[in-house]
Copies of this chain bind each other. A is one copy, B any other.
Amino acid sequence: MEKKVGAEQIKDGKIRFRVWSPFAEAVQVLLKDQNQLLDLQKDEVGYWETETDKAAPGSLYRIRLDEEDTFPDPASRSQPEGVHSWSQIPISEFNWTDDSWKGRELSEMLIYELHVGTFTSKGSFEAIIEKLDHLEELGINTIELMPIAQFPGSRNWGYDGVYPYAVQDSYGGINGLKTLIDTCHKRGFAVLLDVVYNHLGPEGNYLSQFGPYFTDKYHTPWGSAVNFDDEYSDHVRSFFIQSALMWLEEFHFDGLRLDAVHEIIDRGAKHFLKELSLEVDSLEQKTGKRYILIAESDLNDNRLVTSYKKGGYGLEGQWVDDFHHAVHTVLTGENAGYYKDFGKMEFLAKSFEQGFIYDGIYSVFRKKKVGNSPKGIPSEKFVTCIQNHDQVGNRLLGERLAELVSFEELKLAAGLLLFSPYVPMLFMGEEFGETSRFQYFVSHGDPELVKAVQKGRKREFEYFFHTKGSFPDPQSSETFESSKLNWEFEKEDPKKHIFEFYKEMIRLRKEGNFKAFLEGERKVDFSEENNWLQVTSEDNNGKLKALYNFGKSTIPLKESENDKIELIISSSNKNWGGQEEVNSRSSSVPASSFVIYKIY
């Protein structure tokens, strides 16, 4: 019963306009060039449509409701003049050359999260292509783009997007994006997209003019919730599912990262996430490609990645933030905000063992029990990181880990991530220890909103380290510019060494050196007092061990004289700027370092 909305060229070259507006009494399309109004006809459930030869790809239009105001199309594919202005019918001419590309399993992914606007100085899709050599050298095989749905202005993390079908114009629009993805596929990179279906941004969101896209029954951090289960929700669900399918099918994305799914409130018998997952399964059947859905969730609920048969939503993966928080707090000693729930070696050990630390236990920060048991969930369903846009950018000052911990500790953190049994995700610049801050930036057009964001941002995150400096203005273009990566890292010793170290760890992981750990039983020991963590896995080829020393003094490996030890990597090796001349019989771990080795 639900239909795809928007403007689309149909077989005879005509354009079909379709708008959902169940309560409207009249719906028209205003064509800019002709300055002409087209009447749309309504069906029994509130879809209005017409077919016309007066419009063509490239035409600009707006939707007029009830013979009064005109608005951009909620399903606009392009907003060349910004979120408040004309919608444009897409010109869809693109010659794909990635026919042989079939996608990639999550378990094979090494993900690199990037923000299009600040990854390169140009801040465009095309400019990313120039950096693929770098990413190839690094060894990652999957790029995850922060949201690119059209947002207000040209500076935004992307979570203020208001057109779930439109590609941000200032990044290069539809064809810029397709060129990037096509090139990535040819070079062996999968590409994921971060999509936001739990809310729309505060500026340029005209959806409520058209119909009940939101419900007052539930409140979210962004106001009224998207209507996923109330009256008329069938279309709203379909609206977002069609968006997801569009990114996968038309744009050849290999999967989606679903923003904060805990704010997708759906009490119905078929949860939106399950419906989305089933629809993507069908698309896989149709295209023969593999698509990956990864949820960001603060629920620690195993249901997300559990199979349909066992009552789950069947998603391929989910973020496990607990791992990040455990690493971050153990290294930095920070305990403000939600970090107060972490900070012990015991938690880091638990996260190495099973992902979720909060598996039903009480959270002091959240003032309630959180989570359920992840038992039985394969580790390849958890995506983890030691930095990401939120954990860096939601600090008032936006400091990256490289600014917060020492050079040796930075490598220690990388060792925790890349040796972890989970799917690792790097945040752009992390691979060379970028120290320029990644801050929160917007470019709203509404001065009142700008003020509200400036104040709100400060209030929301003030518990995070507000004493260290003055608060950067989100609206200032300087905040945006200074968040860009500095690509001269090869000229700086520490950065260059960090890069070499990441390359080596990624190589070891990809070549299967950590396989026993990824696939086998994990045994984790630790000492809270002496600040170390040891993980052990055993398979037919012997024991694989990693010993992480968070303390200030060297600790010896506790192996017997008779064991044959083969060193795989030592983070304090001179090769990557450390103090140690490491040989294969090294038997101790210096302060803030780790070693990975095998025993036969």
Interface residues of A in 216-263 (CB under 8 A from B): 216-219, 229-234, 262
Pair B219/A368 contact, Cβ less than 8 Å: no
Residues of chain B lying within 8 A (CB to CB) of residue A301: 268-269
Contact pattern, A 346-380, Cβ under 8 Å of B = 1, otherwise 0? 00000000000000101000111111100000000
Identical copies of this chain, number? 2
Q: Cα distance A300–B310 when bound, in Å?
A: 18
Closest chain B CB from A178 CB (angstroms): 34
**Closest Cβ of chain B: how far from A396's Cβ, in Å?**
23
Are the CB atoms of B269 and A368 closer together than 8 Å? no
In A376-403, the 8 Å CB interface with B consists of none
Q: List 26 A-B contacts (CB under 8 A).
A: A216-B219, A217-B219, A218-B218, A218-B219, A230-B368, A232-B367, A233-B368, A234-B369, A265-B267, A268-B301, A268-B368, A268-B369, A268-B370, A269-B299, A269-B300, A269-B301, A269-B302, A269-B303, A269-B370, A269-B371, A269-B372, A270-B360, A270-B369, A310-B310, A311-B311, A311-B312
A309 CB contact (under 8 Å) in B216, B234, B267, B310: B310
Whole-angstrom distance between the alpha carbons of A409 and B309 in the complex? 43
CB-nearest residue of chain B to A215: B219
Which 7 pairs show the lowest CB-CB distances between chains A and B?
A: A311-B311, A269-B301, A231-B367, A269-B372, A269-B371, A233-B368, A234-B368
- A270/B303 contact (C-beta < 8 A), A231-B367, A234-B362, A362-B1 known: no
A314 to chain B, nearest CB (A): 11
Q: Are A299 and B268 in contact (CB under 8 A)?
A: yes
- A124 CB-CB contact with B under 8 Å: no
Assembled-state Cα–Cα distance A217/B263 (Å) = 11
Is A306 interfacial (CB-CB < 8 Å)? yes
A372's partner among B270, B366, B370, B371 (CB-CB below 8 A) is: B270
Distance in angstroms between the alpha carbons of A294 and B267 in the assembled complex:
19
- How many angstroms from the CA of A368 to the CA of B233 in the assembled complex? 6
Contact B231 A368 (CB under 8 A): yes
Q: Which residue of B lies closest to A371 (CB)?
A: B269
Q: Is A306 within 8 A of B311, CB to CB?
A: yes
- How far apart are the CA atoms of A270 and B233 in the complex, in Å? 25
CB-CB < 8 A to A360: which residues of B?
269-270
Known: A230-B368, A234-B362, A269-B300. 16 other contacts (CB 8 A): A216-B219, A217-B218, A218-B218, A231-B368, A233-B368, A265-B267, A267-B299, A268-B301, A268-B368, A268-B369, A268-B370, A269-B360, A270-B360, A303-B311, A310-B310, A311-B311
CA distance in complex: A366, B232 (Å): 8
